[in-house]
Amino acid sequence: MPRYKLTIEYDGTPFGGWQRQENAPTVQEALEQAVLSMTGESVTVIGAGRTDAGVHALGQVAHVDLARAFPGERLRGGLNFHLRPAPIAVLGAESVDDNFHARFSAIRRHYLYRIVNRRSPLVLDRDRAWHVARPLDVAAMHAAARHLIGKHDFTTFRSAHCQSASPVKTLDLLSVSRSGEIVEIRTNARSFLHNQVRSMVGSLKLVGEGSWTPADMAAALQARDRAACGMVAPPWGLYLTQVDYPPAPVSE
């Protein structure tokens, strides 16, 4: 049974998240319906990251097993035709080995969080970024972010509904930068706890506004207590930008 790797972009605004559920439309459900419409097959599309309601993706990765083989270009085009008018696009479709698993084979996930830091309300970036009116000290935010890099117990930044077996994660990158009124927070790790990125961003905002110091961020991490976390940033500023996998073996 051929397996295909799909690279997917979507606007998370109208969806209840990636994972199929009974009471809201989801990205997984839309993709599975597109496969059914194109091939007549009822399948399960497995994603690399279970993004929450309102979270966007520039480079989500999924895999799907089909009963018959398709050229990648044809599969991509057919799925995009049947996905319309949903705000989902399949950017690439390629045949992969049966050992490839979109979720378990991933070695790194990259996220971007966008803040628009200005007094005026958002128009074009509405539902695409977090509007923060108070001036943000990006240098202080970046200094605070450095306390979270590395292997830590991230209980403070973990949702009460998180199903991960352990709160210990290794954060490879957490950086804060500004370009004009746009503040970008970038992070990557092999995996994240539920709401970890949005929880970290909410606390970084407190540092940027001057309510916390960078040392307060370190203390919050060490507290290992959800009550020590700042507010959870809203989902609409978060983007899953890329998922990394081991390089494919080179055939001799």
Q: Which residues are catalytic?
A: 52
Among 169, 172, 173, smallest CA distance to 153 is for 169
CA 63 – CA 173 distance, rounded (Å): 26
85 upstream amide cis, omega within 30 of 0: yes
User: Tokens 């709160």 correspond to what residue?
Assistant: 167
User: Tokens 């092999």 correspond to what residue?
Assistant: 190
